[in-house]
Amino acid sequence: MSSTSTRSPAVAAARRGELAAFLRLRRERLTPADVGLPGGPRRRTPGLRREEVAQRAGVGIAWYTWLEQGRAINPSVQVLDAIARALLLDPAEREHLHRLAGIPGAAARIPARQPLPSEAQTILDSLNPLPAGLVSAGYDVLAFNDAYAALDPRMVLLPPADRNVLLRLFTADEECQPLVDWEREVSFMVGQLRAEFGRRLHDPHWRAYIRKLSEASPLFVDMWARHEVTAPVTHRKRFRTVDGREVAITATGFTTTAVPDAKMWIYTPDDGEAVRVLGELLGRYRESGAAGLVAAGATAATDHSKGAANTERRP
């Protein structure tokens, strides 16, 4: 018997477990009012009842209960779509549901990691002064340009094997966090990670990666347990520079055939002040490097704190 076939029962069981947890949590987040049902005074469980979901989807209560219990049943695409509508799933969540149910074609094969082509760095460099980086589905930073390094020099100072966005965000001290809206942005990224993980439930490297994040941060454990799923979209975010200033940018992701398992994220400044700050940081990075930028930023932040304290003490 091949190694693949001996793993298949375990893979199927893991997939059913993920499916059960996902359905339960999506059901519990809904209220009766969300779907036009009366609330009633005696609801002992959060969200909708299983029988309410089953009725809305047009399936048997026992059958839906088995699905939430992770039993070995094979729902059709039509039934899954009915459940998705009953649970008000968005397109990303619906796709995730199909993958977890093992629908053929829903979990497309992800090509093996290939060496980074030289033209990828050339493209990134040509985008200066816009910060740009090539980031894998698991948030490994594979390549970046000078503007990206200037915006987050602490990431550049890490060994290449440790340059992982999520690991850094979940383990960095508060004063070293580059994101202003930390909770919102990290929740968004964990939702994307959950969607990617749904494509790779059988991959031992991905399972080891999730364990590593879980061991590194209780906050990650809490977010991961929500089973929230999001799709990558262009969105606005705010960065905190090494010297304590804030810059607003719009993050836009592009796929590349050269590295199928990654996206090229390009940060476009939202206003003139962001353009000025990013240009200044880029010049300083090229003069003193990442370590010099971090050291100068720490001094500037300390001076700023002292100035603020002196101002507060003035009569």
The predicted structure's pLDDT at residue 6: 37
CB-based contact 263:232 (threshold 8 Å): yes
The predicted structure's pLDDT at residue 104: 67
Distances (CA, A) of 103 to 74, 77, 99, 107: 9, 7, 6, 8
Q: Give the bridge partners for 208, in sequence order.
A: none
Q: Give the bridge partners for 133, in sequence order.
A: 144, 265
The predicted structure's pLDDT at residue 301: 55
Q: What is the model's pTM?
A: 0.73
Closest CA to 145 of 158, 133, 163: 133
Residue type, 142: L
CB-based contact 264:133 (threshold 8 Å): yes
Mean pLDDT, 10 residues at a time, the chain of 315 residues: 51 86 90 78 76 88 88 85 89 87 61 67 96 95 96 91 93 90 95 92 88 94 94 91 94 87 94 96 94 80 48 42
The predicted structure's pLDDT at residue 266: 97
The predicted structure's pLDDT at residue 138: 94
State how far the Cα of 192 lies from the Cα of 206, in Å rounded to an integer: 14
The predicted structure's pLDDT at residue 314: 43
Angle between helices 50-57 and 61-68 (to 10 degrees): 120
The predicted structure's pLDDT at residue 177: 92
State how far the Cα of 206 lies from the Cα of 14, in Å rounded to an integer: 13
